[in-house]
Amino acid sequence: MPLPSPDAPTLRATAADFDTLRDNLPVFSDPLSTLDSHTIADQLSELSVLINYMADEILFRTVDRKRSGDPAPAIAGFAAAVRPACEAATALASVAHRLSNLEQAGQQHDESGAPGYDRLVMGNALAKADKALRATADSLRHAAVTPSPEAARTQAARHRSAAGAPGSFPPPAAPQAVSTTRTARGR
């Protein structure tokens, strides 16, 4: 059984924050879901705060080497989660941009017929943001259960000591004779 990272609670809490953000995304097909530039901008702002938090956690763990335990798994976990979080931010930004353009066009009474296409594009972007936020949270949860190299070494040592116990494994086979003739390759 893998030993969890000492940073597992922080990684899991951050994953939960991404899950909450994902749960609060507007659902494009739901008529009760609010989809306006303010709502999307608010979601984008919250996502930016979480991305900044992960970057700060990476920096903190990189600079503060006096911490107990190995910071590498948490650094790797947060770093891996930044990519899908940024993909979600890009998708939300495209929705905010498109909504802003539609709201501006609506103020100018522009009846161009583009809203059907825009709705499809925004629905796809929201689906992409949802998928990327799920990937971010899953990545953080995975990092929380991945054992640190220090824990993996401890676990391997326990396994080796148990393997050396009498009667646990058959004795190793006798080594086979190694051929002393080698074929020289041209240089």
Residues 113-146: tens digit of each pLDDT: 456 778 888 999 999 999 999 999 999 999 998 6
- Cα–Cα distance measured from residue 42 to residue 26, given in angstroms and rounded to the nearest whole number: 11
Q: Is 80 exceeded by the pLDDT of residue 162?
A: no
Interatomic CA distance for residues 104 and 19, integer angstroms: 32
Q: Which amino acid is at 140?
A: L
How sure is the predictor about 13, in pLDDT bands with cuts at 50, 70 and 90? very high
pLDDT digits (tens, 9 = 90+) for 25-57: 988 776 666 678 888 999 999 999 999 999 999
CA distances from 6 to 34, 48, 67, 144 (A): 40, 26, 10, 8
Name the residue ranges covered by the structural domains of the chain. Answer: 8-27+34-146
**Residue 126, token pair as written in the block:** 């929201």
Angle at 123 between CA 120 and CA 128, to 5 degrees: 125
The whole model's pTM is what?
0.71
CATH 1.20.120 assigned to domain 8-27+34-146? The reply is yes
